[in-house]
Amino acid sequence: MCNECAGEHPSEMRCPRIAQRDLQIGELALARLMATGRFRDGDVRCDVRNGEVVLRGRVATWYHKQVAQHAVLETANVVSVQNQIEVGPPSTSMRSASQAGDAAKLIRAHDLTGE
Ligand SMILES: [Zn+2]
């Protein structure tokens, strides 16, 4: 029997309850990242496994990397954060700067972390 959901599922299968929670943590963590107003859509990814978050992606400065880590650490149910974000100029120019800017503004309107 599974300790987490008290249900019966094969031991090689991930507990659906944990999988669901990881999904929620990932969404919350991403929302927190975006609420800082310092990241554009797609800059940083959050992979969550059993509450352990792995941050990946690329940001412009070390400062941004630290901001990302702190934002995610404060997310509910996060057990730990592995910060694997790379620091440096973007490797591609694929993203649409104007679209990402609009999204950031929208989020800023909801959050009051303006400077
Ligand atoms: Zn379970």
For each successive 10 residues of the chain (115 residues), what is the average pLDDT?
Answer: 89 90 97 96 95 96 97 96 92 55 58 53
Q: How far is the CA of 88 from the centre of ligand 1 (A)?
A: 41
Q: How far is the CA of 107 from the centre of ligand 1 (A)?
A: 35
What's the pLDDT score for residue 33?
96
Q: How far is the CA of 1 from the centre of ligand 1 (A)?
A: 8
What's the pLDDT score for residue 79?
96
What's the pLDDT score for residue 101?
59
Whether 26 contacts 48, CB under 8 Å: yes
Q: Which domains does the chain have, with CATH numbers?
A: 16-110 (3.30.1340.30)
What's the pLDDT score for residue 47?
97
Structure tokens at 1: 């029997």
What's the pLDDT score for residue 95?
53
Residues that place a CB less than 5 A from ion ligand 1: 2, 4-5, 15
